[in-house]
Amino acid sequence: MPGPSAASRLTAALIERTVAGPGVDEAGAALVGRAVADTVAVMLAGAHEPAPVGLREALTPPPGPAFVVGVRGRTAPDHAALLNGAAAHALDFDDVCHSVKGHPSTVLVPALLAVADRTAPTGRDLVDAYGVGLDVGAAVWSGFGPDHYARGWHATSTVGVVAATAGVARLLRLSAAQVGHALGVAASFAGGLRQNFGTDTKVLHAGIAAEGAVRACLLGAAGVTSEGAALGGPLGMLHVLGAGDVEGALGALAGPSVLTGRRGLNVKRYPCCYFAHRAVDAVLELPVPVPDDVAWIEVTVPPGSLSALKYDDPHTGLEGKFSGPYVIAAAMLQRELTLADFTDAAVARPGVRELARRVRWSESPTPPLGAAEWQDGYAVVRVEHRDGRVDQTRVDVPRGHAQNPLDDHEIEAKFRSCTEHLLGTERAIRAARRLRTIATAEDASTWSVDLDRHPEPPTEESGSS
């Protein structure tokens, strides 16, 4: 257990990074712009899923300047962060990052946009704040160590609330003292249990963390105090929720930005569990099979992957996202995976279900094809035909991974696939470009201008509703 000195050094380093840490470079700004566009795309697509709808039904939105995606209306910044955070995570189609063991943008982006609506920063400031938040998140994750997630914490939420607090504090230009208090408040807001995975509450975790970040900063700005050792102290967040590796957190802060690393942002190409993405890419690399000729499809992945892919026989669209056999069969037949493949009706399609019964997933520390080494993961897919022919391939770095990123065109295509049924094609294209290039905006509060579903002035009828 470190003495007060390690805890104080951590606090000082976190404040220093937040207040005065370097902005992101041009390549990083392009990545952040894509992350913002990608997050807003899945936010709009998810805004009418059960968790965000439940939040809107249960809670009273106060009036305010912050835009709520997918609904006509603006509210207070913390409330907008809550609603938009839940919407962004509702489809599990938002980006992931190994450096924070979870989904960074579903917390960071809604929190930052909610504050941007109030303060109208430049796009460059917004992008720099994202970079600061992501790096603070990676430091917190390093301080927790792997036991944090294994024990049952949902790191997206626990790491996310502190990460987003740093980002929002940067955007609001809080003083060093205010940043210190805001981070300490955020430490007491951290919560969220993996036991709730597979339910609406998992989705709430993202919104609650985004809301907590906005609140922590507004409270810090209002003079509310917290303890200087709330993160690194013996009863502080890193110890209580994790291994308390304060030196590890300091080391992560001293290292290069997450955005420049090989474990940077992984944008999801498919709206399903990330543990299935490599296998889907492998399926799409193989020759197109004739379904009736397929005897078996064997998929091999590293140990630990299957605990998330827990539905062998899915009955709902949500279960389908976490079903290895379903995802493989659908990808093989559709030659693509889109949101349309994860409705309850799509999961019930007899052809897909029939092929899914011939898919077998297993785990192995050593890939059965190619080199024995791998880094973040691998998938080997082997298709055995009834005539004895075998097609097989291996994918280690899936499309959308930090080392194999989606290009601007693909980001815009995903944006359209998520939103054009809501916005129309023209506005979807405009919105995607505006968001992807947010770093160049003079006023980042313009991020939402293309997103209102009812841009026309209110008529008598809509005005009365």
- For a copy of itself, the binding residues in 134-163 under the rule CB under 8 A are 151-154, 157
Given the rule CB under 8 A, which of 59-67, 252-260, 332-340, 429-437 is the region that contacts a copy of itself? 59-67
Q: In sequence order, what are the residues at sequence separation of 6 or more whose Cβ sits closer than 8 angstroms to the Cβ of residue 156?
A: 89, 100, 102, 103, 104, 106, 107, 192, 205, 206, 209
Nearest to 66 by CA among 31, 113, 32: 113
123-144 and 4-20 helices, crossing angle to 10°: 160
H or E stretch including 57?
A: helix 50-58
Given the rule CB under 8 A, which of 123-131, 187-195, 319-327, 371-379 is the region that contacts a copy of itself? 187-195
Could you say whether residue 27 binds a copy of itself (CB under 8 A)? no
Given the rule CB under 8 A, which of 95-103, 204-212, 296-304, 377-385 is the region that contacts a copy of itself? 204-212
Q: Phi and psi at residue 24, in whole multiples of 5°?
A: -85, 155
CB of 194 to a copy of itself, least distance (A): 5
Distance CA 158, CA 334 (A): 37
CB of 433 to a copy of itself, least distance (A): 33
CB of 238 to a copy of itself, least distance (A): 10
Nearest to 435 by CA among 421, 423, 174: 423
User: Which pair of tokens denotes residue 339?
Assistant: 């949101």
Nearer to a copy of itself, 50 or 251 (CB): 50
Could you say whether residue 199 binds a copy of itself (CB under 8 A)? yes
Distance CA 309, CA 255 (A): 33
Nearer to a copy of itself, 199 or 343 (CB): 199
CB of 80 to a copy of itself, least distance (A): 11
Could you say whether residue 118 binds a copy of itself (CB under 8 A)? no
Nearest to 130 by CA among 89, 100, 175, 90: 100
Residues 167-186 vs a copy of itself: string with x where CB under 8 A?
-----------------xx-
CB 422 within 8 A of CB 104: no
- For a copy of itself, the binding residues in 224-243 under the rule CB under 8 A are 224-227, 229-230, 233-237, 239-240
Binding site for a copy of itself (CB under 8 A): 50-51, 54-55, 57-64, 76, 78-79, 151-154, 157, 184-185, 187-201, 204-205, 208, 215, 218-219, 221-227, 229-230, 233-237, 239-240
